Structure 1
Amino acid sequence: MQLVEQYIRLCAGRPTEEIGRPLDISLAEVAAILFCTLRNATLTLKKMQSQGWVVWQPGRGRGNRSVITCMLEPADLVLTVAKELVQKGEIRSAREMIDQYRSDLQALDENFSRWMNSQFGPRVMREKGNRGRVDTLRLFYNRPFAGLDPIHIVLRSESHMVKHLFDCLVRFDPVTRTIEPAIAFYWEASEEGKQWTFYLRKGVLFHHGRQLVAEDVRFSLLRLMEHSYKHRWLAASIVSIMVKDDHVLTICLHERDELFLQALSKDYMAIVPQDYVQQMGDQFAQMPVGTGPFRVVRNDDSMLVLEVFTPYFGGRPFLDRIEIWCVPGMAVEAQADETLLSVTALDYQRDTSDPAWSDVVRLEDCFQYVSLNGAKDGPLSHRAFRRLLASMISGRALRQDLQGARERAVIWGGADSFHEKEEVPDSRELARIFEACGYQGEALLLYTYPDPDHVEDAEWILNSCKEYGIAIEIRYASPEELALPSLLREADLVVDSANVDERAELSLREFLYAGALSISHHLDPLGKEEIEHLMSQMASVQTSQDRQPYVDSIMHTLASYSTFVPLYSNRVEMIAHPRLSGVSLDAYGWIDFRRIFVRE
């Protein structure tokens, strides 16, 4: 803000004077300090006085000096204005102001972070009228939620928000590991398993007020099939979708698929309103409308605000409002003894002498990995070279060196195929492999995100390979860029995360087939053919227990082709405010907002 800058300039212009002490000064001197005209200097001083920043007593008559008293230390003023901006919801502007002055004003950044921490956690307000008590949960995250269109989301954080805004035809219960009704209350399949008929609930409302009909379901599924290269794999078995009336539709498949219902429960398959999507176009991702328990009322680069959708057919959540403030770097700066509940992993230690706070800890089912591009011409097209790289990139060594929240990953049942690799060959054998595969020291391209953990992983891989004479060039890309098939095909290596939850076999299908993940683009032709055959066989088997041998065979095949190297899973640690109940972490390490409530 220009007025803040002018006040700081005014204080800096008289460096030996104390704050709060009257000072004789002429209007001309003020104008010189502020680099403006006498008229603008007068207007500026009046504005500052109206804000209570200065006391200005203009001199009366020619030659009489004026008196000015600066009432606030510059750091206190900047902090006060930043707080006011935050209270108005202008969080990005407040953060930019703090960043602008943090190097010149001592302790400003620390004081702002401490105050910001105090703003998070549960809030209970009493409002007049019908609303009465309003329970709000205020959280922080390090980036805006720019894209919340189910068919285009990439990040697990986006998927988590979509889960609260939309519903699918059916839902998967992670506790019982069974499919339950959602928008469809009943379904039946033909004897050969190729034709599924779904009966939809009546009276299901979208957030914009219209009732859901079967045509919305057909539109949503076709939209994913036609416009989402990222998640088209979910609907690969669908041949046609026929609407019989407003509440009944039939989906026909190419062949029997025992994972079809699980696929319909994925957030990417959420049902959207045809009229609103067509009306909003690209803006739908910013202000989406679904049938879920919460609806979006604000979404910009400062915050995402969700409000409870009272008519929700699945039962009203306990919370009334969720505010997620976008505060880059907040997770690093936060102090654990403040009232907050972060939606990101917290690495710091809190005061364990306070038993009222509760720790929520879980090892993610998801895991970090590096994939090796066997489909690209060059040394990595040779299985021996990929096996050599895999032996250099040991998940165990990486975890020991980098530590933090990294723990050994359990990969689809912990198949023996991915226990730690063999030792790196000696120098003579290295030279032989290099020559046989045509490797002449050229740099291999490694792509990943610029997030701190990915950066550490990538640099560790670079140094580990360099030790054995293999050059790595690291290139950082945004999540949206790293989801592009063209970039994934260009990469020699990719450090990424696999989305894994209690739907284990479906998660494996996503890992292998999702267009936004590297494995589908990095498998060499022979490996892809073997995997395709095993996946097709697995899809026809009815029980998870009977599908496990196919999972083990697929993992053995991936290991034998040295397609990827699992690195670790993250240990997610969260601290919950004493007044919050119902806090738990899902397989992605996120909290379910539908179950949280605030105690008095």
Structure 2
Amino acid sequence: MRLLHRLNQYQRLYQHVGPTLQSTTVAELAAIFFCSERHTRTLLSQWQQAGWIDWRAQAGRGKRAQITCLKTPEDLRSSCLQKLLNEGDHSAALQLSQLDPRHLNALFAPHLGGQWQADAPTLRIPFYRPLQNLDPQTLSGRAEQHLAHSLHAGLTRYITGVATPQPDLAHHWQILEQGSVWQFFLRSQLYWHNGEPLLVEQLCQLFARLRHTPRGQHSLANVVEISQPYALCLQFRLDTADYWLAHRLADLSCLLFHPDDPTLGAGPFKLAHFAPELVRLEQHPYYHLQHPYLSAIELWISAQLFAGEPKVSCQHPVSIFPGESSELARLSPVKRRTSLGFCYLAINLKNRHLSVAQAQKIIALIQDSGLLDNLPIDPSLVKRSREILPGWPLPARQTSQQDQVRLPAQLALLFHPPVELEWIAEALQALFATEGCQLTTQYHPGRLWDNGEHLASVDLLLGDRLIGEAPVATLENWLRQDPLWTEILDKNDLQEQQCRLLAIQQQPCATQREDHLREHFQQLMQQGSITPLFNYQYQVSAPPGVNGVELTAWGWFDFCQAWLPPPMGIA
């Protein structure tokens, strides 16, 4: 960035000269700027014309010139930032902002929130960290998953507040041969974001690829053949009936992307710009469903926008900042809900370091010690778990003989983000020490358990489970996809779980599937394999004038529902 380089050069000059008149030569300045004398003269001329410096050269060899700085580096950066923002070059402004933490919110606030740009409604959201590449097969962050569902379509989809899958690329579908054959009838006139027609042949090839990916293979495990029996018809033949298939096809692992580019989809928004400091989504002009009102969504990424805030967790509430700094006092939550997703403790019974009785004692210790009520977490952000899903309560504990159960002398615990799990790990160390058990902790930087190698050697695991719009289907999918289960359940329990899941998926009745899955999780909790710890309180705050904010199960808001009133002064 050329402007950034110029400001760095000016800052070096200011450190040597400052606001007072100094005597110098071009050669001395060239050494400061690390450039030639010829280029130094060009810089001095440009800066003099811009009013940055006062430069008075003297004629004759060896004569010393007079120079003084008329602007401070901070003033120049602020004015350059404002110029870039007014010109709409927000990517350059965010790069430049890394040098100028002072008054950053005051500079950016008028450009955030709901804005009209070239007669198009745009929503700009501040964000605190760079985003992962938006390939649905590799991403793991909550924000990235929400963006992926805005960029990509599936054969089916979820809509906010509805637990059953709805049509997406498929206009409708039918189930044949007692759940062993599914036919999805595609809409006509489907297009990728680049304007190319979306072809059934492409989807056949994509699903053939997804069947062999680490994520897709679990969702499509029962598929033995994918074909096109009729025009605009995609047929799945299964080796075993699976009445979860429509749910699985709406999952992140089955979002569909262009064969040549995993970030190119067919969803309501397309990816227009992706950089560490700015991500921009624009409305897909050929979208096959109702078009969103917003023309564009921008995420302005800068940790300094959150300067002074408490340590940020990626689970914390989403906030949309006001469009004008004067509206800050009027910023208020417009939607709030308790997430069905939860942080959990899993106990490894497979490696035989812990018995079922010891696992049950650990869970009782956590629940009875007050540990979950005394963490350094804002109580408005979390809520202690009393059930794994609504209507799926935690099992009653048998406490009569737990005083006689002793924990091993040493145990190992593994935890991953968010930061709240680190605080729980530290609290567990102190709690276990009172029981004569030394707990060692290890940190896993990934948001998911990538494989079983790092799970097998530990006894306890602290993790985080996101729950989407279809909570029952999400938990069933968790049992299938997460390598956690193959490492904490012994051979018999794992085999029994696989048999149960196979039997559950063949139940046509959704109520029966839910009942059987609830019974299975009740058994897992009773034996101490898993227990939820707390749920997050999701919240979306929006400035005046941003309407239609609908909080999703992911803790974000539905981009397709938000809208802005017309700009003031327009009849």
Please report the TM-score for the alignment, with normalisation by the length of structure 1: 0.82
Question: Does the C-alpha gap of structure 1 residues 88 and 374 become closer, same or farther in structure 2, counting only changes over 3 Å?
Answer: same
Whether 1:345 aligns to 2:317 is yes
Q: Give the paired residue count.
A: 550
1:334-365 superposed Cα distances (whole Å, 9 cap, x missing partner): 79xxxxxx996169999999557553212112
2:115 is paired with a residue whose SS is strand
User: How far apart are 1:420 and its partner, in Å?
Assistant: 7.8
Whether 1:576 aligns to 2:542 is yes
Query: Bigger CA drift: 154-163 or 198-207?
Result: 154-163
1:223-263 superposed Cα distances (whole Å, 9 cap, x missing partner): 22102x23422112222112224411221112222222111
Instruction: Map residues 370-449 of structure 1 onto 2, 5 A cutoff.
Output: 370-375=345-350, 377=351, 379-380=353-354, 382-394=355-367, 397-404=371-378, 405-409=381-385, 410-418=387-395, 425-426=402-403, 429-430=405-406, 433-434=407-408, 440-441=409-410, 444-449=412-417
Unaligned 5+ runs, structure 2: 567-571
* Counterparts of 1:85 and 1:458, CA distance in 2: 45
User: How far apart are 1:31 and its partner, in Å?
Assistant: 5.6
What's the counterpart of residue 141 of structure 2?
Answer: 155
Identify which of 85, 90, 93 aligns with 2:92.
Answer: 90
1:402 is paired with a residue whose SS is coil
Instruction: Map residues 348-359 of structure 1 onto 2, 5 A cutoff.
Output: 357-359=332-334
- Aligned letter for 1:486? E
Question: Does the C-alpha gap of structure 1 residues 470 and 115 become closer, same or farther in structure 2, counting only changes over 3 Å?
Answer: farther
Q: Is the Cα contact below 8 Å between 1:318 and 1:594 reproduced in 2?
A: yes
Question: Does the C-alpha gap of structure 1 residues 173 and 301 become closer, same or farther in structure 2, counting only changes over 3 Å?
Answer: closer
Q: Is the Cα contact below 8 Å between 1:581 and 1:598 reproduced in 2?
A: yes
Query: Bigger CA drift: 357-366 or 343-352?
Result: 343-352
Unaligned 5+ runs, structure 1: 99-108, 127-132, 277-283, 336-341, 435-439
Q: Is the Cα contact below 8 Å between 1:388 and 1:424 reproduced in 2?
A: no
2:560 is paired with a residue whose SS is helix
* Counterparts of 1:96 and 1:262, CA distance in 2: 43
- Aligned letter for 1:309? H
2:432 is paired with a residue whose SS is helix
- Aligned letter for 1:124? W
Query: Bigger CA drift: 492-501 or 570-579?
Result: 492-501
What's the counterpart of residue 474 of structure 1?
Answer: 441
Question: Does the C-alpha gap of structure 1 residues 331 and 523 become closer, same or farther in structure 2, counting only changes over 3 Å?
Answer: farther
Q: Is the Cα contact below 8 Å between 2:348 and 2:460 reproduced in 1?
A: yes
User: How far apart are 1:51 and its partner, in Å?
Assistant: 4.5
What's the counterpart of residue 55 of structure 1?
Answer: 54
Q: Is the Cα contact below 8 Å between 2:375 and 2:424 reproduced in 1?
A: no
Instruction: Map residues 30-109 of structure 1 onto 2, 5 A cutoff.
Output: 30=29, 41-61=40-60, 65-81=64-80, 87-90=89-92, 93-98=95-100, 109=101
- Aligned letter for 2:169? I
Identify which of 552, 556, 559 aligns with 1:590.
Answer: 556
What's the counterpart of residue 305 of structure 1?
Answer: 280
Question: Does the C-alpha gap of structure 1 residues 573 and 481 become closer, same or farther in structure 2, counting only changes over 3 Å?
Answer: closer
Q: Is the Cα contact below 8 Å between 2:416 and 2:447 reproduced in 1?
A: no
* Counterparts of 2:52 and 2:73, CA distance in 1: 10
Query: Bigger CA drift: 294-303 or 237-246?
Result: 237-246
Instruction: Map residues 30-429 of structure 1 onto 2, 5 A cutoff.
Output: 30=29, 41-61=40-60, 65-81=64-80, 87-90=89-92, 93-98=95-100, 109-126=101-118, 133-227=119-213, 229-274=214-259, 276=260, 284-285=261-262, 288-328=263-303, 330-331=305-306, 333=308, 345=317, 357-375=332-350, 377=351, 379-380=353-354, 382-394=355-367, 397-404=371-378, 405-409=381-385, 410-418=387-395, 425-426=402-403, 429=405
Q: Is the Cα contact below 8 Å between 2:155 and 2:167 reproduced in 1?
A: yes
* Counterparts of 2:130 and 2:400, CA distance in 1: 43
- Aligned letter for 2:170? A
2:154 is paired with a residue whose SS is coil
User: How far apart are 1:577 and its partner, in Å?
Assistant: 1.5
* Counterparts of 1:352 and 1:64, CA distance in 2: 57
Q: Is the Cα contact below 8 Å between 1:137 and 1:322 reproduced in 2?
A: yes
What's the counterpart of residue 10 of structure 1?
Answer: 13
User: How far apart are 1:586 and its partner, in Å?
Assistant: 0.6
Instruction: Map residues 424-573 of structure 1 onto 2, 5 A cutoff.
Output: 425-426=402-403, 429-430=405-406, 433-434=407-408, 440-441=409-410, 444-449=412-417, 451-479=418-446, 482-515=449-482, 518-573=484-539
Question: Does the C-alpha gap of structure 1 residues 300 and 421 become closer, same or farther in structure 2, counting only changes over 3 Å?
Answer: farther
1:89 is paired with a residue whose SS is helix
1:579 is paired with a residue whose SS is coil
1:373-406 superposed Cα distances (whole Å, 9 cap, x missing partner): 233x3514x3233333333434962243233111
Q: Is the Cα contact below 8 Å between 1:206 and 1:212 reproduced in 2?
A: yes
Question: Does the C-alpha gap of structure 1 residues 586 and 346 become closer, same or farther in structure 2, counting only changes over 3 Å?
Answer: closer
2:537 is paired with a residue whose SS is strand
Question: Does the C-alpha gap of structure 1 residues 466 and 223 become closer, same or farther in structure 2, counting only changes over 3 Å?
Answer: farther
Question: Does the C-alpha gap of structure 1 residues 483 and 120 become closer, same or farther in structure 2, counting only changes over 3 Å?
Answer: farther
CA-atom RMSD in angstroms: 3.4
Please report the TM-score for the alignment, with normalisation by the length of structure 2: 0.85
Query: Bigger CA drift: 390-399 or 455-464?
Result: 390-399
User: How far apart are 1:497 and its partner, in Å?
Assistant: 1.4
Q: Is the Cα contact below 8 Å between 2:257 and 2:265 reproduced in 1?
A: yes
* Counterparts of 1:459 and 1:420, CA distance in 2: 25
Question: Does the C-alpha gap of structure 1 residues 312 and 402 become closer, same or farther in structure 2, counting only changes over 3 Å?
Answer: same
Q: Is the Cα contact below 8 Å between 1:519 and 1:563 reproduced in 2?
A: no
* Counterparts of 2:505 and 2:25, CA distance in 1: 85
Q: Is the Cα contact below 8 Å between 1:170 and 1:261 reproduced in 2?
A: yes
Q: Is the Cα contact below 8 Å between 2:293 and 2:561 reproduced in 1?
A: yes
* Counterparts of 1:74 and 1:423, CA distance in 2: 71
Q: Is the Cα contact below 8 Å between 2:156 and 2:167 reproduced in 1?
A: yes
Q: Is the Cα contact below 8 Å between 1:26 and 1:66 reproduced in 2?
A: yes
Which segments of structure 1 move beyond 6 Å, counting only runs of 4 or more? 347-353
1:112-161 superposed Cα distances (whole Å, 9 cap, x missing partner): 243234432111023xxxxxx21111112233333322233322222211
* Counterparts of 1:564 and 1:134, CA distance in 2: 49
* Counterparts of 2:299 and 2:217, CA distance in 1: 30
Q: Is the Cα contact below 8 Å between 2:358 and 2:405 reproduced in 1?
A: no
* Counterparts of 2:424 and 2:320, CA distance in 1: 20
Question: Does the C-alpha gap of structure 1 residues 35 and 231 become closer, same or farther in structure 2, counting only changes over 3 Å?
Answer: closer
- Aligned letter for 1:416? P
- Aligned letter for 2:202? D
- Aligned letter for 1:59? Q
* Counterparts of 2:31 and 2:232, CA distance in 1: 75
* Counterparts of 2:328 and 2:107, CA distance in 1: 23
Q: Is the Cα contact below 8 Å between 2:425 and 2:441 reproduced in 1?
A: yes
What's the counterpart of residue 104 of structure 1?
Answer: none
Question: Does the C-alpha gap of structure 1 residues 246 and 471 become closer, same or farther in structure 2, counting only changes over 3 Å?
Answer: farther
Q: Is the Cα contact below 8 Å between 1:466 and 1:472 reproduced in 2?
A: yes
- Aligned letter for 1:295? K
Question: Does the C-alpha gap of structure 1 residues 564 and 10 become closer, same or farther in structure 2, counting only changes over 3 Å?
Answer: same
Q: Is the Cα contact below 8 Å between 2:375 and 2:423 reproduced in 1?
A: no
Question: Does the C-alpha gap of structure 1 residues 550 and 348 become closer, same or farther in structure 2, counting only changes over 3 Å?
Answer: same
User: How far apart are 1:89 and its partner, in Å?
Assistant: 0.8
